[in-house]
Structures are given as structure tokens and as C-alpha cells.
Structure 1
Amino acid sequence: MNNSPSFMGTTTDQLSTLRLAYWLLKLGLIFFATELFGLTTPPIELNYVLVIEALYVAISFRVRYMLGRKQLLFITLLLDTIFWIIWLYCTGSAANAFTSLLLLPIAIAAIMLPQWAPWCLAIISTTAYSAMIFSQPDHSLHHGMDMSSHYLGMWFNFVISALVLTTTVAFIAKRIRQKDAELNYLREAQLRQEKLLALGTVSAQMAHQLATPLATLRLLLEELVEDNQSSPLTIEMHKALSRCEASLTDLRQATESIRSEKMHAQTVAALVKTLKDQVNLLMPEVKLSITVSDNASHATIHSDMSLLPALLALIENAARASEEVIQTPKVEINITLKTMAVLSIAIYDFGQGMSESLLAKLGHKLIENPKGLGIAVLLSHASFERLGGELTLQPNQDKGMIATVTLPIEKA
């Protein structure tokens, strides 16, 4: 069931309107249809109860947008049930033809609230109705506590109806809520894929445009090297240019691997070695420490060319976060087997961490932050999902953040 603010606001509006209709129905039955439906003339005290209920209805209209909270919604349904019980007791008790209206709050609770709520209302309503049955005058009882078949059938029908609402209807509502949650997740995933497609298109265009300037820079650098081979500036330019060329080559290979859906198997030990080599080549300033458990080093995973860039992006973010706080780009990685079928790669940084609101968005959508838009994490998250894995971000108990990547393991 949709729990969005707009949906809850509409629902509470409808419930407030329905509550007003209940109150008007009670007044109409008392003043215009008492003889028609065989109701008992109510005592004067019921008028005071109706005045209190009118104030309750007015307040519920006034604060209806707050009633979307589960606890408050249950309290209002409980009050509705109590007002119905009092009205029924004063206008004929169990002989009242409108006793089935006690089932309405149970039905609403079964649809909108957790399973405990309709059960509580069902117990209260059934107890009150049973008390009305047993408190009927002598014409409804025979030989002491032996109820007449008519009232026994009414009581049994009420109990069965309450049980159906608290079990079957609640189960159906729960399944609908699960389906709605799945649809919302798929909708968000589709929007995320559309953004990733747009980012991928832009990246491919930019990579194509960078190829020619990089080739020109390479020729110019070679000419400079011929003139002055020992220049420190040309050495640094050569390193930077080599890194750009390597990144561009990796991008092309990753694009081709994704397009052709080529997967290859590799052990965790091989992945760790490749990861260290790439970090030393592309980020030599990063102080990387990798710990691999004994049972995880020989595990085998299936991946493509997108796995390594995704891990490198997380390492680069972790190194940047550490450097901002401890002035050292320090990153620690702990690789273990989460289960016999799942590999866990935990990446620790020593930064200042993030707020919970930002963590909830990071990796799922673009964010507005002075440090960036979270594109690298978004792309990494998509890469892990495509490989059957998952990326979770959580604060470290000591300091910084933990980015945990889980990947499926090939069974031996």
C-alpha cells in the first residue's frame, strides 16, 4: 500500500469525511428512524456522548494531516469503535440492526495498519458485542445462560466476520503493500538506469573527443623529450598523460565488455593483485592496506571490466575523505566471506563521515553537495548491481565510513 504523504493525506481526508457520515447517521437514526428499525429510545446521557463525538469529529478534521501516523490512526479507530459501542448499547444493544458497523474500523485497520491493530480492535469489538448478547433481557435468553439460536447465530456471524477481516483482508493488504514496494523499487531503478544511460552517453562522447587531444599531447611531449630528456616537468607530464591514456583505454575496454556481455572468472587473490597494481599506477600517493581472510583468497567470482573501475572509484573517494581529516590518503580494505556464496569487500576510510539523510541518497541518485554529485558512487552501485552484487554505505563506529561491496561467489 502506498505510504506517500499525498496518499496518506487523501486517506485521512476520506476517513474524516467517513467519520462525519457516521455521526450524521447516528443522529438520523435516533431522530427519524427509531421506530422504522426497531431501535430503543436512547437515554438522555447519549446526547452528551454525541456532543463529545461531534467535538472529536471536528478535531479530526482539523488535524487530519497528522493522523497519517500509524499510532494516531489506531487511536482514532479505537475511539470510533468505542463511540459505536456506546451508541449501539444505548439504542438496542445486541438487538440493534446496525451492529455490523463495528466491523468497519477493523476493516480499515486491516488495510492500513500492521497486523496487531485489527486484532486489537477485533478483540475489543467482539468482547463488547458478547457482553451485549449476554446482557439481553429474558426474551433473548432461555434457561439461564442458554442463548436463543437467533442471537447465537448473530454472535457467531460477527466473530467469523471479524476473523476474516483480521486474517484474510490483512493478508491481502500486506501482499498489496509488498507489491507496491516492489513497484516503487523498480520505478526508482528505472529512473536510475535512465540517468546512468544519459551519463554513459555523455561519457562515451567525451571519451571520443578526448582521444584526439591526447594523441596531440603525446606527440608534443615526445618532441619535448627529444629536446630535454632529463627535465622533471616532462617526466611528470609523461606520468599524467600515461594515466589519461590508460583510463581512456580502460573505458573503451569496459564499454566493449559491457556491450558484448563478456564475463570472466577470477580468484579473489588475482583481483587483489590487480587492484594493488592499479592503485599504485593511478593513485601512487594512496596508502592502501588490504587484508584477505584465508577462506576468501581462493574464492572465484564472475565479473567484467566494470568491476575494477567501480572499486577504484570507491578507493579514490575513501582516500580523499581520509586526507581531508588526517592529511593522509589512507584506505583499508577487508575481504571476507559473508556466507559460503557471498564475498564481502569492506572499504574503510578515516574521514568525517556523512549524515544519514545524505547516506540514504548516495549511490541511488545524484545529490547536491559541495564535494560533488556522487556520480562515482552512483556508477559503482550500478556496476555492482549488474554483477549480482550490492553496495551499502554506513558510518564506522570509530571514524569515517565503511563502503561494503557484496558479490556472488562461483560455487566449487
Structure 2
Amino acid sequence: MDPRTPGAGAPASPALFELAPADEAHGAGLRNMQQLIELRWYAIVGQVATIGFVHFALDIELPLVTMLGIAGCLAAFNLACLVFWRPRQEVGDLALLAALLVDVAALTAQLYLSGGITNPFLFLYLLQVALGALLLPGWAAWVVVAAACAGVLGMVVSPGPVTIHANPARGVADPYVQGLLACFLLTAALAALFIGRIARILRDRDARLAALRQQAVEEEHIVRMGLLASGAAHELGTPLATLSVLLGDWRRMAPFTEHPDLQQDLDEMQAQLERCKSIVTGILLSAGDARGEAPAQTTLATFLDGLVSEWSATRPVCTLDYRRHLEADVPIISDSGLKQMIGNILDNALEASPDWVGMEVRLAGGDRQTLVLEVSDNGPGFSEQTLANFGKPYNSTKGRPGGGLGLFLSLNVARSLGGRLNASNRSPGGARVVLELPLAALLPPQPDPPDPDADDDE
């Protein structure tokens, strides 16, 4: 019998999975190392239990001191892995390969001392090979295969101190057959349990990589649009300045000075021209990172009230139901990107529901540290396809070129600020877009605390 048997029925160590949560901040390599550490605890418990059963119950003389010493060394190695990898964020292929080679070496030593090639638990090598093929790149997996083959060949060439005699005619009563059945059940159960977990970890990693690739493609798309918008804004500066000069000349010409109606038209044209200049200036500031160049400190309530006032004054909205639920105002840095993002959301709601647009603002989350902005309308709502592809460029039911870019840009601005944007349909009708932003992304930078050592030096 083989003391390497991974302790069927031994409880898993609950603290093991607390050493690092399986979240986005930790890599798949670290989580795979955790699985190997847990599997090794099973193996150590199984070794000790099997040594005692074989030596005392089956009366097979085993070198107890040496075999228990190997189990102790394996336990010490596992504790070292637990301490060393606990604060780490990622585990490389070489570390996983080294851990598996240690397991193969320990299995070889225990098999050599407890029957060698005649030990029915010889097939536990296949579990190590399967783990290597799943966890490691091709070259490293073949290193594990070579190590396992070397161990088997070594026991063929140099038999150990114990020989187990098989008598299959006795059926289940034969200790060798019992060990063979136990080996099969353990290998099948552990393979299903741990390889299933590891496969799930790898699938999660692939899903995250696919999401990151998609995000990179979307950000590249945004960069291209930003370059085009910045170039267009520069080009529009000259014609807008020319129109401003012409309007100033027209104001002094006789046909316009003698007719108040024409003067009123000139005033409206001048107002729209100023709005165009403001839009162009906003594009150029956004392209140059307005927050970094000219930060404007304000408060959350002032920022939102000003945004709503400006938006409602320049849009043909019948009713804007604006509700602000802020227990206390907080200072923030005015962000042009955030302002344009909220404007895009409001514009989409207005286009779907010209008669009524609702906007509700509140602080939520722990210690009220999340800004929640909800924009609602009474329009037809989102289609299932639009909701399924929400945030993708050109995902729109408007049927015109460029449709869907507003929400696409809004989603990416929210993502850049550490927030998220969700869409849903209201009951009985209409749509709802909810923006959630961490308030810390909008707070002004805090001054560094004074250095007491610097004062002492002075």
C-alpha cells in the first residue's frame, strides 16, 4: 500500500481559500497554486493514515521513520508555500512546475519505500501528469511527464526494501486488489474535483482576457474618434471666428439697425454661434485632459444644478423632473468628460421622450461614497438586442449613421472614472439608465500631511 494516498474524507482547510480571494485582482496562477497546496494537504494526511494502516493493520513492515520523515518534509514545504505565496499577486509557470516536481519526487520516494513497482498506488503518477498538462505550457508539462517516467523506471531498475505480492484470484480480499481499487477511486475523485476547479479558473481567466481585449478595441476606437473630433474642432475655429466678425459687421449696417426683427435674428445667430464655440472649446479641453490643465473646484450640488440648468436651457424639453437627494454637499473637481457624459444620457432620453425626462441623484453605498445618477424617460424603451449589446459602438435603434455612439462614449468615460453604466426598461413603459461613480474619483486631491522629520531638520 502507498502512504501517498490523499486521505479520503479528510476535511479541506477552510483557511486556505481565505489567503487570497478569487477576484479580478489575483491571477489564475495564484489560484492554481492554492489548489495544489490544498491537494498536497490531502496527500500528507493520506500518507500518514496509509502508513499506519499498512504497517499495523496489514502487518507489512515499512521503514516508518524514513516515510514519516518524507511526509514531514512535504508538510514543511507546503507551509513554506503557504507563507511565501500568500502576499503575492501572481504565480509563474516555473513556480507551478517546481511545485509539481516536488510532488512527483515525494510520490516516488514513498512508492520506492512501500513496494516500488508492485505498489498499486503507482497510478497516482497519472494525476500529477494530468495536473501538469492542465496547468503548464507544453514544454513544462513534458518535464512532469519525464519526471514521472524516470520515477517508474528507477523503481523497475532498483526495487525498494518492500515487495507486495498480488493474488488476484482472491478478489476483493486481496490487499493488492483493495489498493488498486482505492487508487482508482481516489484518482478519479481527485481528478474530477481539482481538475474541474482548475479548469473553471482557466475559463474565468480566458473570459477576463477576452473582456480586456474587447475593452482595448473599444478604447482604440475612442482614441480614433477623439483624434477626429480634435482635428475637426481645430478646423472649425477659423470659420466660427469669421462668422463672428461678419455678425459684428452686420449689426452696424443700415438694413439691420433699422429693423428690430433682423436685430433679434442676429442675436439668436450670435447665441448659437457662441454655443458652437463653447462646444468646440469643450472638445479641445477634453482632448488635452481638462482636469490636469485647468481644474475647477466646485461642489457636487453646484455642478449638477449648473449642468441641469444649462442643458434644459438649450434643449426643447417640455418637463425635466430633476430631483437631487443629497444629505450634505461635498466638494468635487468639475470634470468636462463627466459633464458631457451626463449630457449624452439626457440627450438620448430626450430623443426617446420629448415630453418628459426624469433625473434623480443620490449618494449610496457604504458611508455614502457612491454617486448614483438615474435618468428615466417615457419612451418605447430599449429592445432586447440593444440591452444585450449595451455600451457597444453603433448599437442603436435610431437607424442613422453614428447612432449609439453617445452611450458608448458615456460607458467608457464612466469606466475611466472607476464607475459603471447600466440600462434597463421601466414598468409599464420607458427606459432607465443608471450611472454609478465612486465619489473618490471626483474629490479634489488631498494635501500631503506635513513631514515631522522635515520640521526637525529645519
TM bucket, shorter chain: 0.5 to 0.7
Partners of 1:321 and 1:352 within 8 A in 2: yes
Corresponding residue number in structure 2 for 1:226: 252
What is the identity, as a one-letter code, of the residue corresponding to 1:252? L
Partners of 1:279 and 1:286 within 8 A in 2: no
**Counterpart-to-counterpart distance in 2, 1:264 and 1:223:** 35
2:380 alignment partner, SS class: coil
* Matching of residue 270 in structure 1 with residue 302 in structure 2: yes
Partners of 2:298 and 2:331 within 8 A in 1: yes
Structure 1 position 308, deviation (Å): 0.3
Structure 1 position 379, deviation (Å): 1.3
Corresponding residue number in structure 2 for 1:316: 347
Alignment of 1:153-302 (within 5 A): 153-227=179-253, 228=256, 230-231=260-261, 232-258=264-290, 260=292, 266-283=298-315, 285=317, 287-295=319-327, 297-301=328-332
Partners of 2:379 and 2:429 within 8 A in 1: yes
**Counterpart-to-counterpart distance in 2, 1:277 and 1:223:** 32
Q: Which runs of 5+ in 2 are unaligned?
A: 1-119, 135-167, 447-458
**Counterpart-to-counterpart distance in 1, 2:306 and 2:228:** 28
Instruction: Say if 1:397 and 1:301 are closer, same or farther in 2 by CA, change over 3 A.
Output: farther
Structure 1 position 212, deviation (Å): 1.0
Moved more, 399-408 or 238-247: 238-247
Structure 1 position 286, deviation (Å): 5.3
Partners of 1:335 and 1:343 within 8 A in 2: yes
1:365 pairs with one of 393, 400, 415 = 393
Q: Write the deviation string for residues 312-343 of structure 1: whole angstroms up to 9, x where unpaired.
A: 111111111102xxxx2x21111122303211
After superposition, the CA RMSD in angstroms is 3.1
Structure 1 position 266, deviation (Å): 4.4
Structure 1 position 249, deviation (Å): 1.9
1:389 pairs with one of 419, 431, 452 = 419
Instruction: Say if 1:294 and 1:205 are closer, same or farther in 2 by CA, change over 3 A.
Output: closer
What is the identity, as a one-letter code, of the residue corresponding to 1:271? F
Structure 1 position 263, deviation (Å): 6.0
**Counterpart-to-counterpart distance in 2, 1:207 and 1:381:** 23
Q: Write the deviation string for residues 57-108 of structure 1: whole angstroms up to 9, x where unpaired.
A: xxxxxxxxxxxxxxxxxxxxxxxxxxxxxxxxxxxxxxxx9xx9xx99xx9x
Structure 1 position 138, deviation (Å): 8.1
* Matching of residue 377 in structure 1 with residue 403 in structure 2: no
Alignment of 1:94-109 (within 5 A): none
* Matching of residue 307 in structure 1 with residue 338 in structure 2: yes
Partners of 2:326 and 2:361 within 8 A in 1: no
Alignment of 1:83-98 (within 5 A): none
Partners of 2:286 and 2:337 within 8 A in 1: yes
Partners of 1:257 and 1:304 within 8 A in 2: no
The normalised TM-score by structure 2 is: 0.54
Partners of 2:378 and 2:431 within 8 A in 1: yes
**Counterpart-to-counterpart distance in 1, 2:392 and 2:290:** 21
Instruction: Say if 1:254 and 1:275 are closer, same or farther in 2 by CA, change over 3 A.
Output: same
Structure 1 position 397, deviation (Å): 1.9
The alignment covers a number of residue pairs equal to 273
The normalised TM-score by structure 1 is: 0.60
Partners of 1:286 and 1:319 within 8 A in 2: no
**Counterpart-to-counterpart distance in 2, 1:154 and 1:321:** 70
1:367 alignment partner, SS class: coil
Instruction: Say if 1:161 and 1:300 are closer, same or farther in 2 by CA, change over 3 A.
Output: farther
Q: Write the deviation string for residues 196-233 of structure 1: whole angstroms up to 9, x where unpaired.
A: 11101110111111111111111222222333252232
1:306 alignment partner, SS class: helix
What is the identity, as a one-letter code, of the residue corresponding to 1:288? L
